[in-house]
Amino acid sequence: MSNYASFSLTQDYPHSVERIWRAWTEPEEMAQWFWGSMTNNPEATCELCPNGHWRVSIDYAGDKDWPAGRIGMLGFYVTIQPNQELIYTIHWDANVFYNLSKTDCPDELIRVRFEDIEGQCRIHYKHSGFPDDTHAIKGHRDGTLDVLRRLGTHLN
């Protein structure tokens, strides 16, 4: 794969930047929303420091393309500016269709900026480094929207 895509989303939450930051960086909180509506028996680890590792995994019932068991996403932190910006890699230990051939897929990159708007938080989310095709773009965008909705539910 030589062509990669990205997308960006902006989402407002009626919570402080500090509250959203905690939800994004504390394992107990990450476990509750990071997989969106697929969350089932979640576990999360987070070593919040440059090059520190993170992982979120869930139980998965399986399907025709991926066996039942634990699935996860994992990576390491690139940039950490508390309550301002978080940049981290993401590697899939789950079916995202373009990794079904079991070939190595490059890690993807997530950048989240946290903006204070009169005591509430606006996040600016950018996901890049996945295959540049309609299915991948739509799948990642739809999945991220689900995850961001789940974050809102978790916070309320």
pLDDT for 97: 56
pLDDT for 125: 98
d(CA 27, CA 48): 10
Of 36, 18, 64, 27, residue with least CA distance to 150: 36
pLDDT for 109: 96
pLDDT for 55: 95
pLDDT for 141: 92
Q: Give the contacts of 103 (CB within 8 A, at least 6 positions apart).
A: none
Q: Which domains does the chain have, with CATH numbers?
A: 4-155 (3.30.530.20)
pLDDT along the chain (156 residues), means of 10: 84 98 96 79 94 93 78 93 97 66 74 98 95 83 92 94
Query: Can you give the pTM of this predicted structure?
Result: 0.87
